Amino acid sequence: MEREGVTKEQVNVDVREDTLVISGETKKDEKYKEGNTHIQERRYGSFTRAITLPRNVKANEITAKFENGILEVKLPKDENEKPSGRKIEIQ
Would you state the CATH architecture of domain 8-88? Sandwich (2.60)
| Burial call 27-66: b when 16+ CB within 10 Å, e when fewer | eeeeeeeeeeeeeeeeeeeeeeeeeebeeebebeebebeb
Q: How far is CA 89 from CA 32, 36, 49, 83, in A?
A: 35, 46, 17, 16
pLDDT of the residue at 78: 80
Q: Where are the domains of the chain?
A: 8-88
pLDDT tens, residue by residue, 53-85: 988 888 889 999 999 889 999 999 886 655 567
